[in-house]
Amino acid sequence: MSKQTVNSTDHNGDELFMARVTNKAFIFDPQTKKYLFARAADMPEEYWKLIGGRMRRGEELEEALHREIVEEIGKDVKYEVKGTLGVTTVFEKGEAINIVAYLVFYREGEIVLNDEHSEYKWLSLQEALESKCIAQWAPPLLKEAEKRMQESEYLNDLKRLQADFENYKKRQAAEAKEFSSHLAKSIVSDLIPVLDNLHAAAEHVPADLVESPWVKGITYIEKQFEDALKNYGVVPIEVKPGDAFNPLEHEAVSSVGTEGGEGIEPQHPSTDSGSPQTPKIEKVVQKGYKVGDRVIKAARVTVR
């Protein structure tokens, strides 16, 4: 080997050789599925090389890679370094060269070659593998690049499937909740009139019959109905005389000073300042029910 490559000797006096390090960028265009090769300007025969070159003293590996890319194909090119493909060692004129290979995705931008290259072209994997004009060490790393991208695509597909499945579960949960809500409303619509009749019957029991077994039976059935509704999330709207009238939960059937009747708007007496007062509940005529914040049936009340 050339004495220029001799760095030191070992304890036996034998010469030790330090291999130089260079980097090569396997620049891949995801849109065309092709790799970038540049023709070496200083070689008489056709030879297509990968972008990259020798590290300078004190440089980090990726620092040298970025510098070489900018120097060789221009500062306007946008790219993304995806990672290393591996390290291979070749011998050139008796010198050992460690080549650190990187997979780089081309994103956009005009390629402007420097004086080291006369032209460039994009080759598919198959075209590159069949070419006789690229370095012999390149094909195994091209295959590794293809393998890495297939694994990446598989992982991306898996992530998309997982995301789709999570979205599916959320949709199913939302649809189930909506179905449950509609089901509860349907059931309530059928059961509440029966429960209202039971309430009405219990309220009109003569005083001397309140403690009779059949009245207690009606009261027990009322409780059973209300417990059954609670199983569907249906609860009575809490309202009592003296509460403020809430049009979202209450239906005013009459107001003090008017004839009783359904659908009568509550009066809004004015204060001395002229601004209306909030009506108050005078009497709860019929219970109302809701599921969560959703009113199934408004409580029917009289107001004052």
pLDDT at 182: 76
Read off the pLDDT of residues 248-280 as tens digits, 9 standing for 90 and up: 999 999 887 554 444 445 444 444 545 567 899
Give strand pairing partners of 95: 92
Residue 126 scores a pLDDT above 60:
yes
> CATH 2.30.22.10 in the chain, residues?
192-303
Question: 3-136 domain in CATH 3.90.79.10?
Answer: yes
pLDDT at 299: 93
pLDDT at 226: 83
Name the pLDDT band for 16 (thresholds 50, 70, 90).
very low
Distance (Å, rounded) from C-alpha 143 to C-alpha 269?
A: 86
Name the pLDDT band for 19 (thresholds 50, 70, 90).
low
Just give the CATH number of 192-303: 2.30.22.10
State the number of CA atoms in the 13 A half-sphere of 33 facing the CB: 7
Distance (Å, rounded) from C-alpha 30 to C-alpha 153?
A: 11
Name the pLDDT band for 206 (thresholds 50, 70, 90).
confident
> CATH 3.90.79.10 in the chain, residues?
3-136
Average pLDDT over the chain, rounded to an integer: 82
pLDDT at 257: 58
Q: Read off the pLDDT of each residue in 158-170 and give the average, rounded to a whole number.
A: 84
> For 33-42, 155-164, 277-286, which range has the lowest pLDDT when averaged over its residues?
155-164
Name the pLDDT band for 172 (thresholds 50, 70, 90).
confident
pLDDT at 196: 82
Residue 215 scores a pLDDT above 50:
yes
pLDDT at 269: 44
Q: Read off the pLDDT of each residue in 125-151 and give the average, rounded to a whole number.
A: 91
Task: Return the higher-pLDDT residue of 11 and 187.
Answer: 187
Side chain identity, residue 28: F
Give strand pairing partners of 49: 38
Percent of the chain scoring above 70 in pLDDT: 85
Task: Return the higher-pLDDT residue of 264 and 66.
Answer: 66
Q: Are 38 and 117 in contact (CB under 8 A)?
A: yes
Query: If 0-12 CB within 10 Å is exposed, 13-18 middle and 19+ buried, where does residue 120 land?
Result: middle
Sorted by sequence, the CB contacts under 8 Å of residue 104 that are 6+ apart come out as 25, 26, 27, 28, 65, 69, 79, 80, 81, 82
pLDDT at 45: 77
pLDDT at 275: 53
The neighbour count for residue 92, using CB atoms within 10 Å, is: 9
Q: Read off the pLDDT of each residue in 223-232 and give the average, rounded to a whole number.
A: 84
Task: Return the higher-pLDDT residue of 6 and 240.
Answer: 240
Identify the DSSP state of 209. Answer: G
Most confident of 52-66, 196-210, 218-232: 52-66
